[in-house]
């Protein structure tokens, strides 16, 4: 029996690695599919309400498409506005930025004892050593992949909303044996994912507005751009908030001299992130986001490695989805409670099992 159990465990490990390999290999299909599932979940309550009003399904889907198009149009307008803000900057700013960057790099070189030809341009020297310029040609491939994935996401979203792909029935036929269990679990997933996305969007929006206001108050260039940047990067759980503070702090070094004002600005944007991301977000999330910090970091690294930036953005909803599924089975409830870090429940389950 022990040999059979060991063999089953080894086979399970092999299957898990195989599944992750397939997810990475066929990422061009699975990324739009999973993303479309989360988008469809957001609009399913609206679709059910419209169906109760006996509105034709074609009109319902058209309404959803118009809403998505409106959101994308608004986001595009904000991006264009921030782009015009950057283009309108005068040459004095770039000269000032170059001077400060050269001085900063020179001081770092002297600190670490790095030798470089004195007549060689600092920025050109380090730009040639980076792969950014060498990989510039891959930008076209990245844009084409993004466009194709966007179109596939729209296609899968329409299929899900129209009922051609029914996730609840798929769960019923593959995971659960009883229809009631699949419906109950699907409704819980829908509720938790919707709550997560709404809270995350509101918190990110408030963070972006606060960043823009802070930039205006301290006279930092491109306040609209930094607000949009904070909104977008904040969707990457934990990592995004750190990136936004670090990048904006480094940029503020160009506009503000390294005095107490710069330090106060860094403290201000750090306090904004701590308030919205560290205090308000967990309060509004409640039990929806009761996932251990270690599990969050592991999932970020895992899905970031498998799917890149889309994986980082979708890692937490995927984790919530997996956690809810594991909670439905007695044998996997302990794993779900480990993921949430609720030790008292784990101990109770272990006692009951004995």
Residue 9: predicted pLDDT: 75
Q: CA 209 to CA 217: how far, in whole Å?
A: 12
Least confident of 129-138, 141-150, 291-300: 129-138
**Residue with more model confidence, 107 or 57:** 57
Residue 349: predicted pLDDT: 45
Is 50 exceeded by the pLDDT of residue 228?
Answer: yes
**Residue 202 near residue 349 (C-beta atoms within 8 A):** no
Is 60 exceeded by the pLDDT of residue 353?
Answer: no
Least confident of 43-47, 65-69, 281-285, 308-312: 281-285
Is 80 exceeded by the pLDDT of residue 182?
Answer: no
**Residue with more model confidence, 115 or 249:** 249
Is 60 exceeded by the pLDDT of residue 118?
Answer: no
Is 90 exceeded by the pLDDT of residue 90?
Answer: no
- Name the pLDDT band for 206 (thresholds 50, 70, 90): very high
Least confident of 73-82, 197-206, 253-262, 284-293: 284-293
- Of residues 154, 134, 275, 259, the one with CA closest to residue 209: 275
Residue 132: predicted pLDDT: 44
**Which residues make Cβ contacts (< 8 Å) with residue 219, sequence separation at least 6?**
255
Least confident of 31-45, 303-317, 320-334, 340-354: 340-354
Is 80 exceeded by the pLDDT of residue 111?
Answer: no
Residue 210: predicted pLDDT: 94
**Residue with more model confidence, 251 or 127:** 251
- In our burial notation (b when 16+ CB lie closer than 10 A, e otherwise), range 256-272 reads beeeeebeebbeebbeb
Q: What is the mean pLDDT of the chain?
A: 78
Is 70 exceeded by the pLDDT of residue 131?
Answer: no
Is 90 exceeded by the pLDDT of residue 214?
Answer: yes
Residue 237: predicted pLDDT: 75
Residue 265: predicted pLDDT: 92
Residue 347: predicted pLDDT: 46
Where are the alpha helices (H) located in the chain, listed in sequence order?
2-25, 27-52, 57-87, 91-112, 122-129, 138-162, 167-174, 179-217, 223-233, 239-255, 260-273, 281-285, 293-307, 309-326, 333-340, 343-353
What percent of the chain is predicted at pLDDT more than 70? 76
Q: Residues 248-270: what's their mean pLDDT? A: 85
Is 60 exceeded by the pLDDT of residue 180?
Answer: no
- Name the pLDDT band for 147 (thresholds 50, 70, 90): confident
Residue 132: how many other CB atoms lie within 10 Å: 8
What sign does the CA torsion over 269, 270, 276, 281 have? Answer: positive
Least confident of 111-120, 196-205, 278-287: 111-120
Is 80 exceeded by the pLDDT of residue 4?
Answer: no
Residue 209: how many other CB atoms lie within 10 Å: 14
Residue 268: predicted pLDDT: 93
Residue 209: predicted pLDDT: 93
Residue 133: predicted pLDDT: 46
Q: At what angle do helices 57-87 and 138-162 cross, to 10 degrees?
A: 150
Is 80 exceeded by the pLDDT of residue 25?
Answer: yes
């Amino acid at each position: 029996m022990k040999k059979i159990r060991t063999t089953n465990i080894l086979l399970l490990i092999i299957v898990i690695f195989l599944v992750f390999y397939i997810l990475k290999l066929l990422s061009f299909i699975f990324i739009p599919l999973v993303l479309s599932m989360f988008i469809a979940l957001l609009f399913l309550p609206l679709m059910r309400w419209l169906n109760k009003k006996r509105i034709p399904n074609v009109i319902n889907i058209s309404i959803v498409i118009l809403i998505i198009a409106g959101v994308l149009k608004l986001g595009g307008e904000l991006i264009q506005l921030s782009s015009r803000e950057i283009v309108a900057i005068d040459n004095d700013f770039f000269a000032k930025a170059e001077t400060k960057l050269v001085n900063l790099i020179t001081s770092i070189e002297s600190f670490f004892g790095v030798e470089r030809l004195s007549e060689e341009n600092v920025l050109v020297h380090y730009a040639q050593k980076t792969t950014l310029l060498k990989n510039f040609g891959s930008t076209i491939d990245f844009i084409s992949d993004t466009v194709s994935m966007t179109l596939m996401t729209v296609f899968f979203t329409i299929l899900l909303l129209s009922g051609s792909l029914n996730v609840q029935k798929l769960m019923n036929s593959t995971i659960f044996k009883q229809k009631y269990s699949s419906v109950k679990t699907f409704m819980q997933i829908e509720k938790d994912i919707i709550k997560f996305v709404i809270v995350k969007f509101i918190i990110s929006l408030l963070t972006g507005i606060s960043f823009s206001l802070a930039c205006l108050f301290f006279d930092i260039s491109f306040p609209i751009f930094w607000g949009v940047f904070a909104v977008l990067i904040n969707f990457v759980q934990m990592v995004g908030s750190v990136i936004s503070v670090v990048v904006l702090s480094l940029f503020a070094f160009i506009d503000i001299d390294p005095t107490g004002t710069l330090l106060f600005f860094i403290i201000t944007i750090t306090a904004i992130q701590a308030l919205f991301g560290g205090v308000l977000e967990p309060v509004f999330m409640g039990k929806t986001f009761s996932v251990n910090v270690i599990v969050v970091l592991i999932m970020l690294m895992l899905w970031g490695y498998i799917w890149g930036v889309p994986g980082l953005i979708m890692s937490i909803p995927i984790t919530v989805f997996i956690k809810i599924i594991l909670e439905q089975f007695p044998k996997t409830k302990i794993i779900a409670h480990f993921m949430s870090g609720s030790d008292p429940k784990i101990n109770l389950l272990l006692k009951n099992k004995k």
